[in-house]
Structure 1
Amino acid sequence: MSRTSSARGAGHSRLDLTQDVALLTAAVIDIESLSGHEAALADAVEDALRALPHLEVTRNGDSIVARTSLGRAERIILAGHLDTVPLPTVAGSRGTVPCSWDGGMLYGRGATDMKGGVAVQLAIAATVPEPNKDITFIFYDHEEVAAAKSGLGRLERENRELLDADFGILLEPTNGTVEGGCNGTIRFEVTTRGLAAHSARAWMGENAIHAAAPILARLAAYAPSTVNVDGLDYRESLNAVKIHGGTAGNVIPDACVVEVNYRFAPDKTPAQAEERVRELLAGFEMVRTDSSAGARPGLNVPAAASFVATVGKEPLPKYGWTDVARLSEMGIPAVNFGPGDPLLAHSDNEHVLAADIRACLDVLTRWLK
């Protein structure tokens, strides 16, 4: 349910949006926001945005939407999620909370994914009060968990009128390069059946794990495609990602399940991706457990062209799934662009260069001014 204010405990953190954006990133990291526990950070973000008179602010659960209304010819979205994965459990890890510095390197949970991007959003909200495009800032919860819990999905269902835009930028880490669209993803459980027996009398049973060997052989032999979509080359992948079966060390297993994940180029719908996997694994018992459509590059609108020109680098494809797919499904062309190396996301020593956060802010500020 949307609301215009939120209940808070005493002494909640306050954010200074006008400080150096790298220091702002550190302050955002230090408000721990594991998925499902984003309220404290959402409170701080809401307070900071409500102090800016040029923004109209709406809160829905632990998601916040802030909009300018300047009558500009174009409206763009700057979006980012507030939540992080759990803190590392390995002793000595630096990707934790509170954050720490090593020269110009900032360590902490979410430093890369994606509190640097969130800090850039906040800095723009405070320092670019009259942009050349109207801006909708979106800060949302529950990105790092099941898609059904997504705060962006909830906003789409309950506050769709706030999300209309001509172009969107998701500030996920991309090393400061525009990454267009994203691959889709689909998952299956492929099951083989057997007959249980004592392993000393194995001839009395049928081994379900052995029966799964052809599944693995077909997957290992599969040659993944590289597909050009609107000028960008998307690499696909199809893999067994988990296998389980058997009940005891002296029992012939009567069931085995191979979990399969297909990352498919955005030229395909989830239904087409499913058809391809079922064709490859024909003859086996299969159940689809999850699927999300991909997104085309989103570079064919004027706002995208001007943004790419400001960045000054050739766009790349996004191989992993991101919420640009949700924006694309709403009819909003969108790209990924943010500070930090995506390969460091969720790592035990997650970190980001202060200079990269400042560079990201500089690009977006120049584009919006």
Structure 2
Amino acid sequence: MTVELDLSADPIDLTVALVDVPSVSENEAELAGAVERALRGLGHLEVARSGNAVLARTNFGRPQRVVFAGHLDTVPINDNLPSRREGDILHGCGTVDMKSGDAVMLHLAATVTDPRHDLTFVFYDCEEIEAARNGLGRIERDLPEWLRGDIAVVCEPSNGVIEAGCQGTMRIEIRTQGKRAHTARAWMGVNAIHALGEALRRLEAYEPRIVDIDGCTYREGLQAVKIQGGVAGNVVPDAAVLTVNHRFAPDRNPEQAEKHLREVFDGFDVTVTDIAAGALPGLQAPAAKELVQAAGGAPVAKLGWTDVARFAALGMPAVNFGPGDPTLAHTKEEHVYVQQIRDCARVLTEWVGRA
């Protein structure tokens, strides 16, 4: 049966409709098709398709453009579909991450027909799997003009609070070398696992920075997340690897973060295995100030990495703003308060709509 979406419906009903169309990563085609058909039926939007991503925008010649972005995919279903509503709570896979945010975006696309700013809506695929598959990367390569604007709003769950910018993230591996020996003659070997002890002591003593940027407090972190080593129960190990994850405030770029970690682990063999830059909050931009005011002020720092960093890398201020508690994302108990959906839709409508 072909799914037809009513974009003029209450955003709660629209959330239900989106949630009830399964769209696990790489299987977004049915939902993308429904979104595309509904957007093409509005008349005031230019619409494009890229794989399982759908893009729409106004072209009124306004002095500023706002880019809204949200992913259509979810993590695998965990016995939590179809959706169900219990009073003021809507349960189901994707209710938080992030079909309620998508519903708010679609509601704006349908109901704000004479906006103060030109609007772009990007509904993309494969956000929940490896970064190389993320639909935003493909759009940036193939349709870069669709991502240009003066501010980006990623409608990921933020409990209805503006989360500004995001932390950067880096993983490193610390490798130690030893010499194998029988444990009965351990003095003839060198234990590579024991050699990691000093690195672990440095981690235990490490005091992470707390950084204030534009009134937002970013708390850094440095944590051991994995240890590999060992040959057999009676062999002194000759190799070991400690994996460390660093979350760094966006006042540092990746090169500075790497330099810092090499200083912390001076004397060890350090290899960077993964890195992603953070995003400065950019709340001094005029459009960002307007959004903060519309949302009632008091933005907070995003403690984690999100796709706002992709927009920041394009030279745009970017924030997270959407319904739902992010700590419920990817859980079987995923649910959203319907009032948060309404509140987010109201705030964004007041921000981009005409007075």
Q: What TM-score do you get using the length of structure 1 for normalisation? A: 0.92
Equivalent-residue separation in structure 2 for 1:54 and 1:106 (angstroms)? 31
Secondary structure of 2:193's aligned partner? helix
In the TM superposition, what whole-angstrom CA distance separates every residue of 1:67-115 from its partner, at most 9, and x where no partner exists? 0111212110111111222233xxxx6xx22222222211112211111
RMSD over equivalenced CA pairs, Å: 1.4
Q: Distance in 2 between matches of 1:24 and 1:200?
A: 68
Percent identical pairs in the alignment equals 54
Say whether 1:84 aligns with 2:74. Answer: yes
CA offsets, 1:268-317, max 9 Å, x none? 11000000011101111111111111111121111111111111131111
One-letter amino acid of the structure 2 residue matched with residue 47 of structure 1: R
2:33 to 33, 36, 43: 43
State the alpha-carbon separation in 2 of the partners of residues 182 and 329 from structure 1. 12
The CA deviation string for residues 321-368 of structure 1, in whole angstroms up to 9 with x for no partner, is: 111111011011111111011111112211111111111111111212
Q: Equivalent of 2:255, from 250, 271, 280?
A: 271
Q: 1:31 aligns with which of 18, 21, 25?
A: 21
Q: Which digits, 9 at most, give the CA deviation of each residue in 1:238-273, with x for residues without a partner?
A: 111112222333332222111111111111110000
The separation in 2 between residues aligned to 1:289 and 1:84, in whole angstroms, is: 26
1:14 aligns with 2:4: yes
Q: 1:108 — aligned with what?
A: 92
Q: In the alignment, what sits opposite 2:124?
A: 140
* TM-score where L is the length of structure 2: 0.95
Identify the residue that residue 62 of structure 2 maps to in structure 1.
72
Residue aligning to 2:189: 205
Bigger drift between 197-206 and 226-235 goes to 197-206
Aligned residue identity for 2:180: A
1:5 aligns with: none
Aligned length: 353
Which amino acid counterpart does residue 93 of structure 2 have in structure 1?
Answer: R
Correspondence for 2:53 among 54, 60, 63: 63
> What is the DSSP-based 3-state SS (H/G/I as helix, E as strand, rest coil) of the residue aligned with 2:245?
strand
Q: 1:111-190, aligned counterparts within 5 Å?
A: 111-190=95-174
Q: Which moved more, 1:117-126 or 1:197-206?
A: 197-206
Q: Which has the higher mean CA deviation after the structures are superposed, 72-81 or 268-277?
A: 72-81
Give the Cα–Cα distance (whole angstroms) in 2 for the partners of residues 54 and 134 of structure 1.
11
User: 1:6 aligns to what?
Assistant: none
- Secondary structure of 2:69's counterpart equals strand
CA distance in 1, matches of 2:19, 2:232: 45
Where structure 1 has 5 or more consecutive residues not aligned to the other structure, the ranges are 1-10
What corresponds to 2:285 in structure 1? 301
> Paired residue for 1:368?
352
> Partners in 2 of 1:257 and 1:43 — Cα distance?
46
- Say whether 1:191 aligns with 2:171: no
1:255 corresponds to which residue?
239
Q: CA deviation at 1:124?
A: 1.0
Q: Which amino acid aligns with 1:288?
A: V
Structure 2 runs not aligned, ≥5 long? none
- Partner-residue secondary structure (3-state), 2:175: strand
Inter-CA distance 196–104: structure 2 relative to 1 (3 Å threshold):
same
CA shift for structure 1 position 203: 3.0
